Copies of this chain bind each other. A is one copy, B any other.
Amino acid sequence: MKIIDGGITAAKGFQASACEAGIKYSGRTDMALIFSETPCESAGTYTSNIVKAAPVIWDRNITDSEKKVHAVVINSGIANACTGKEGLTYCDKTAKACAKELNIPEDSVLVASTGVIGMPIPVDKIAYGLTLLAPGKNSSKENAAAAARAIMTTDTMPKEIAVEFTIGGKTARIGSMCKGSGMIHPNMCTMLSFITTDANISKELLLEALREDVKDTYNMVSVDGDTSTNDSCIILANGEAGNEKITEKGEDYETFAKALRLVNETQAKRMAGDGEGATALFEVVVEGADTKETAVTVAKSVVSSSLVKTAIAGHDANWGRIFCAMGYSGAQFDPEIAELRFESKAGSILIAKNGAGVDFDEEIATKILSEPEVSAIINLHQGEAKATVWGCDLTHEYISINADYRS
């Protein structure tokens, strides 16, 4: 398995494009298209928020059916959430306009939106954008990076990756682009994540692989505790790699799942590290838990704590806040035997043992916490279960971004 270039278009038969449709932003691209002439099997996982944006409802209807997918139309700037009954009408009009431009069935078009909640989608601008996005105009193999950029909102960098691997003697690829920076929390984030693969795999296994993977990757990310209305993670598989179709679990499925994990874990960590205003990726590992559930609960509580996050921003080994967040997580464990260490490229340092602080060197701790990627490693000493979650520090910049994001 190796990492290759090409992002969302690395897999055979996938094209992408981006354009400036002027939906809300000016002077930047704000629409992207993913297209496969070969019809794709699709699978999706979506937000658990009961306030669901219209595109989430639209896409779920399609990916949960037997329908084949050809295209995904994405816009940034406006989320098409809390738009009342009109919301689905915007999706319908978008799909119709796309179907016409690309000469594909209307119900083979997925849509995704990210941005401000509660504003109507200017469908005329979307339709205009689609005339620019159609294949033969600017859609091509080379536009993956442009597409990854067009779907950004407060992200500071585009996020794309692709891997190549062999299944059944054939070379296959998985590519991905995603965005996500604010409203990021376990149970899918806003977070739009698109994954394409030319592997030949059944719809059932595609969905199972995605679901299993999202649990340990995207759903382990928290930037600010807000679970968005628009979170979507969608995978398309067009089978162009020509491998014998994966229809049951076995070596090929495992290889595919491993490649998918590499793609999604990389993207999940990038989202966390690019959290709004973040200066550091903050990883929390809980080991020695009695159950996986305990490990996840404790880890998420620590990574989500505003007080822990501000301490990380200040490179301050204020470990009491970590114990405090562990304690109010709701998980049951014995704080009197818990252990904590900080780790980064600059080293590893034991901070607390048996529920109380040890005599550690503050200067070394600060040095370790000053790296762009830092980890808190907690050992509960109660069992074998483990979980890893990713978040980021909480900084002035987060406030600046969000105190007037809409204006």
Contact = CB atoms under 8 A, between A and B. Distances in A.
B82 A352 contact: yes
A84 interface: yes
Given A117-B320, A327-B51, A310 B399 contact: yes
Contacts of A356: 82-84, 86, 118
Interface in A218-236: 224-229
A116 interface: yes
A323 interface: yes
A403 B315 CA distance: 8
Nearest to A405: B318
Contact of A398 (B52, B82, B310, B328): B310
A395 B226 CA distance: 17
A267 to B, nearest CB: 22
Contact of A324 (B117, B321, B324): B117
Contacts of A313: 399, 403
Interface in A119-140: 119
A316 B406 contact: yes
Contact of A84 (B49, B228, B326, B354): B354
Nearest to A223: B306
Contacts of A319: 82, 117-118
Contact of A305 (B51, B187, B226, B307): B226
A407 interface: yes
A332 B118 CA distance: 21
Interface in A123-159: none
Contact of A396 (B48, B229, B352, B399): B399
A223 to B, nearest CB: 9
A22 interface: no
Contacts of A406: 311, 316, 318
A34 interface: no
A239 interface: no
A183 B324 contact: yes
A335 interface: yes
Interface in A352-407: 352, 354-357, 394-396, 398-400, 402-407
B396 A321 contact: no
Given A225-B306, A356-B118, A406-B318, A328 B83 contact: no
Contact of A118 (B83, B86, B352): B352
Nearest to A51: B327
19 contacts: A51-B327, A83-B356, A117-B323, A118-B357, A182-B307, A183-B324, A187-B328, A224-B307, A225-B304, A226-B307, A306-B306, A310-B399, A310-B405, A311-B402, A311-B403, A314-B405, A318-B405, A395-B403, A399-B399
Given A224-B307, A226-B328, 18 more contacts: A50-B328, A82-B320, A82-B352, A117-B324, A118-B320, A118-B323, A118-B357, A185-B328, A225-B304, A226-B321, A228-B324, A229-B320, A310-B399, A310-B402, A313-B399, A314-B405, A396-B396, A398-B399
Please give me the 10 A-B residue pairs with the lowest Cβ-Cβ distance, nearest first: A117-B320, A51-B327, A314-B403, A84-B356, A310-B402, A227-B328, A118-B320, A49-B327, A224-B306, A314-B404
